[in-house]
Structure 1
């Protein structure tokens, strides 16, 4: 059983005891907090386990055009792409649409074309979304704080 499943089985009865409006408020606060921590971790270029992202492949010098060498995933970590949604039943932090396809290729280390109709490129695995130990602890603390103030 993974850590996330253990946290879910521990928290599910506590969250179920709340009223739907209190549950929605709690889950929205958790989703926003989780999104912010994911954004910070992506900005630091770290996987959930704390290791650094795999570096970009070196480019040939004779290539025409300009490749931006700044921080990876600068735009993909913005709130308009990394969405946090919740309702009375649960919460979700993730990507949608075209950005979700890009994120999935990097999350799993798959192959994709960099340009439409171009050759397929193998991307290194860079986990954009995932739970670190600190995030699990923050979710647990947020839940306990909300339950103690609600009672």
Structure 2
């Protein structure tokens, strides 16, 4: 959580602390709500740039292991996604990447991925269903997307205030995940995987740009109130 309290405002206190102290609680709460939203916007933009508060770049994500190619066709029953019967899957060329089996699904007519643990039953592959090019599938090119695209959304990154402070942070499971990256802690990438140490990536932090944005929002609020008086 990034926290700006009325008693610990730094530069903001030097410029506007006296005026803040003289405000009524309701007015101060209104100001801190604006500050919280301003701060959240700054955090979201910085995360989108993949930067820590000091301007350094986030550590890149780990590169996954190369998939293991399957040198034969496979055939199995797999849950259809509804309450109906499992569907039949026949894959000629495929690769195994962690818990996923990815390859050309003959019946679907395209590249598909399936979880090994969800396979209902493996079936024998007939001689006519084998293919000469099994195992020669090329690894799909996956576009490297920016990390934390979901975590920076306004519905996930929360912003709120009281008459004493403004804050930006996360809650529940998202907070636990954010803390792992924020502090560079150990965690399991998946339920059956071994623990690894994640690189420290400061999702929340108070940068010089954030400080300037908060100060500007506060002064704008005070000037607007003076104009209305």
Q: TM-score, normalised by structure 1?
A: 0.88
Q: SS at 1:114's partner residue?
A: coil
Question: Distance in 2 between the 1:83 and 1:150 partners?
Answer: 27
* Large movers: runs of 4+ above 4 Å: none
1:7-33 superposed Cα distances (whole Å, 9 cap, x missing partner): 365354432211122111111111111
Deviating more after overlay: 140-149 vs 120-129: 140-149
Partner residue in 1 for 2:54: 49
Which protein shows a greater Rg? Answer: 2
Partner residue in 2 for 1:111: 186
Is contact 2:12-2:215 (8 Å) kept? no
Please state if 1:31 is matched with 2:36.
yes
- Which structure has the highest helix share of the two? 1
Partner residue in 1 for 2:157: 82
Q: SS at 2:10's partner residue?
A: helix
- Which structure has the highest strand share of the two? 2
**What's the C-alpha RMSD, in Å, of the aligned pairs?**
2.0
Q: Which runs of 5+ in 2 are unaligned?
A: 1-7, 68-96, 101-112, 114-141
Q: SS at 1:91's partner residue?
A: strand
Is contact 2:186-2:196 (8 Å) kept? yes
Please state if 1:122 is matched with 2:122.
no
Q: Which runs of 5+ in 1 are unaligned?
A: none
Which of 26, 38, 48 is matched with 1:21 structurally? 26
Q: SS at 1:148's partner residue?
A: helix
Which of 141, 148, 151 is matched with 2:216 structurally? 141
Q: TM-score, normalised by structure 2?
A: 0.59
